[in-house]
Amino acid sequence: EIVLTQSPGTLSLSPGERATLSCRASQSVSSSYLAWYQQKPGQAPRLLIYAASSRATGIPDRFSGSGSGTDFTLTISRLEPEDFAVYYCQQYESSPRTFGQGTKLEIK
């Protein structure tokens, strides 16, 4: 089983700032089968990034993904008020499809 470790657990930033979220895998995730999701309270997760760096339909270009192998990053270039939420990474290369434990992005 591929274990995904996200850091930091909580990130406190202000609107307009840049956010950098990390996801580290216990073994290499080949072909970049890595996704990022955003989840707000009481809502289902929403896909932001797939294949490590491809934005999902309708996702603003302030969201970007990068990385390969075991280290992946989600960057939000300029935080908007609606971006404060919990973010999860997920690998979908192998079963079980594992998720990271999440990073909570909160308003400073």
Q: Using CB under 8 A as the criterion, which residues of the chain lie in contact with other proteins when the complex forms?
A: 31, 33, 35, 37, 44-47, 50-51, 56-57, 88, 90, 92-93, 95-102
**How near is the Cβ of 84 to other proteins at its closest, in Å?**
17
We find the least distance from the C-beta atom of residue 15 to other proteins, in angstroms, to be: 26
CB of 79 to other proteins, least distance (A): 22
Comparison of 79 and 100: residue with beta carbon closer to other proteins: 100
Q: Which is nearer to other proteins, 69 or 92 (CB)?
A: 92
For the CA atoms of 76, 88, 83, 33, what is the dihedral angle to 10 degrees? 50
The encoded tokens of residue 107 equal: 């308003």
Neighbours of 26 (CB within 10 A): 13
Nearer to other proteins, 14 or 95 (CB): 95
Q: What are the C-alpha distances in Å from 15 to residues 51, 84, 89, 106, 107?
A: 27, 9, 22, 10, 7
52: which 2 tokens? 């490590």
Task: Specify whether the CB–CB gap between 48 and 105 falls below 8 A.
Answer: no
Q: Which is nearer to other proteins, 14 or 88 (CB)?
A: 88
